[in-house]
Amino acid sequence: MTTTPAPAGVLRTAYQKAVADYWNNEKDPVNLRLGDVDGLYHHHYGIGDYDPSVLEGPQETRDERIIAELHRLESAQADVLLDHLGPIAPGRRLLDAGCGRGGTSIMANARFGCQVDGISISQSQVDFAGGQAAKRGVDDKVRYHFANMLDTGFPTGAFQGIWNNESTMYVDLFELFAEHARQLAYGGRYVTITGCYNDVTGGRSKAVSRIDEHYTCNIHPRSAYFKAMAANGLVPINVVDLTAATIPYWELRAQSSLATGVEDPFLTAYREGSFHYLLIAADRV
């Protein structure tokens, strides 16, 4: 294990250090081989139906076909997230909170032409993402920073849009949305895609606990998102249940050589209704 020493103040707790260590050391083919398809490296899941023909055909190229298809579904997920930011003028600025290896930030810059800042508490992810932006020649507009999403150091009101693409399960939502509300301009848009547990079925199911254990995260109940938004001037404009749309991704992933073992808990949790894949878009008032 290699650990990059952190500048004082970014990693504040033993938990944050443990999360940073996990991502500094993560080199899973399920993320790297998918990213290699077109240089967009994602740390989120996919949506939409897969093409069943990828499971047929020559055995030697089966993996390649599945990888390309999983990657297509992950990029489709990022496109749906960006759709919910609404129109963003090229002179505006966006924040990708918990940017991973940077794929969604690159897509946002390609779509809107604006400056995008991605932040992560993993120095390895920040370095990797920065290398990709340089490779694409967009590093004048897409910048990645080693920073804590709960206290970024960015100026107040600087951003027209902020998103968390599957990164809210590592932080307290009240603290997170207070910081987002501070950084968003009036009328700015916040979007998250997240996995949350179902208040209606009760507490954290066994399958949800297994997902938490796998990633060292702490999945929140659905209700927590709306309480924390309401407390911080974030008014939901769209809530989209993406659960049915993400199940095919997990079904395909479970049949691939890249399966990591977390496929079963996701499929169980979604099918039994104890867990949702949710998009929430909200305006800053």
Q: Which residues contribute to the site for ligand GPP (CB under 6 A)?
A: 28, 30-31, 43-44, 166, 169, 195, 211, 215, 217, 219, 260, 262
Tell the smallest beta-carbon distance from residue 189 to ligand GPP (Å): 21
Using CB under 5 A, which of 24, 31, 232, 268 touches Mg ion?
A: 31
Taking the CB of residue 158, how many other CB atoms lie within 10 A of it?
18
Tell the smallest beta-carbon distance from residue 158 to ligand GPP (Å): 26
Q: Stretches 28-36, 140-148, 216-224, 248-256: which one binds Mg ion (CB under 5 A)?
A: 28-36
Tell the smallest beta-carbon distance from residue 81 to ligand GPP (Å): 13
Paired with 94 in beta bridges are: 116, 161
195 binds, among Mg ion, ligand GPP, none (CB under 5 to 8 A by kind): ligand GPP
Strand ranges inside the chain, DSSP E: 93-97, 115-120, 142-146, 159-165, 184-197, 234-241, 275-284
Q: Is 123 in the site for Mg ion (CB under 5 A)?
A: no
Tell the smallest beta-carbon distance from residue 168 to ligand GPP (Å): 9
226 binds, among ligand GPP, Mg ion, none (CB under 5 to 8 A by kind): none
With respect to ligand GPP, which residue has the nearer C-beta, 223 or 260?
Answer: 260
215 binds, among Mg ion, ligand GPP, none (CB under 5 to 8 A by kind): ligand GPP
Q: Stretches 25-33, 83-91, 132-140, 248-256: which one binds Mg ion (CB under 5 A)?
A: 25-33
Q: Stretches 30-38, 87-95, 135-143, 171-179: which one binds Mg ion (CB under 5 A)?
A: 30-38
Residue 27 neighbours by CB under 8 Å, 6+ apart: none
Paired with 279 in beta bridges are: 193, 240
Tell the smallest beta-carbon distance from residue 70 to ligand GPP (Å): 9
With respect to Mg ion, which residue has the nearer C-beta, 31 or 164?
Answer: 31
Q: Is 256 in the site for Mg ion (CB under 5 A)?
A: no
Q: Which amino acid is at 260?
A: T
The SS3 assignment for 272 reads helix
Q: Among 128, 103, 119, 109, which Cα is nearest to 26's?
A: 128
Sign of CA dihedral 124, 127, 129, 132: negative
Q: Is 205 in the site for Mg ion (CB under 5 A)?
A: no
Tell the smallest beta-carbon distance from residue 274 to ligand GPP (Å): 12
CA angle 279, 191, 66 (to 5 degrees): 55
Paired with 184 in beta bridges are: 159
Surface-to-core class of residue 17, CB atoms within 10 Å of its CB (0-12 exposed, 13-18 middle, 19+ buried): middle
With respect to ligand GPP, which residue has the nearer C-beta, 125 or 152?
Answer: 125
Sign of CA dihedral 51, 57, 60, 61: negative
Tell the smallest beta-carbon distance from residue 34 to ligand GPP (Å): 8
**Helical axes 263-272 vs 206-215, angle rounded to 10°:** 150
Query: By Cβ distance, which residue is nearest to ligand GPP?
Result: 195
Distance CA 275, CA 207 (A): 9
The binding site for Mg ion (CB under 5 A) comprises 31
